[in-house]
Amino acid sequence: MPRRKCVGCGRVAAKSELLRLAAALAEGGVRVVVVDRRGTLPGRGAYICREGFSLQPSAHCLALARRRHSVARALRLPGVTRAGVRSDERDRSELARRGAPTLRDARAIDCEPLESVGP
């Protein structure tokens, strides 16, 4: 059984017990983190604890992950260093060159936006 680590609290659990987060490109090159319920979006994923049996992320884990910038770091988004501090500004089209899904692609497979990350 595959196991993953929550980017918020650090709890290791079965993959099926956590929600997958992925990065998508919105209009204007803005990077958006989406909840990938099916786990089918291409690219890196980060995992976070669920709120009970729902398909919503745990508020506690999400707050910890935002404070630590661990979602952006786990997804290896441009402009974020290991410490979570913004590094030199990089080209916004880097994700597009790597073939990142767009927000339209994500919504087509039932993914909902979670938050906007980066400039």
Decide if pLDDT at 86 tops 80: no
So what CATH class is 3-117? Answer: alpha beta
DSSP 3-state assignment of 45?
Answer: coil
Q: Closest Cα partner for 116 from 82, 90, 89, 77?
A: 77
CB 63 within 8 A of CB 8: yes
For residues 96 and 47, give the distance between their C-alpha atoms in angstroms, rounded to a whole number: 22
Decide if pLDDT at 94 tops 60: no
For residues 103 and 107, give the distance between their C-alpha atoms in angstroms, rounded to a whole number: 6
Decide if pLDDT at 115 tops 70: no
pTM of model > 0.85: no
Phi (first) and psi of residue 114, to 5 degrees: -105, -50
Q: Where are the domains of the chain?
A: 3-117
Q: pLDDT for 8-56, tens place per residue? A: 999 999 999 999 999 888 777 778 888 888 888 888 999 999 988 888 8
For residues 4 and 7, give the distance between their C-alpha atoms in angstroms, rounded to a whole number: 9
pLDDT band at 74 (very low <50, low <70, confident <90, very high): very high
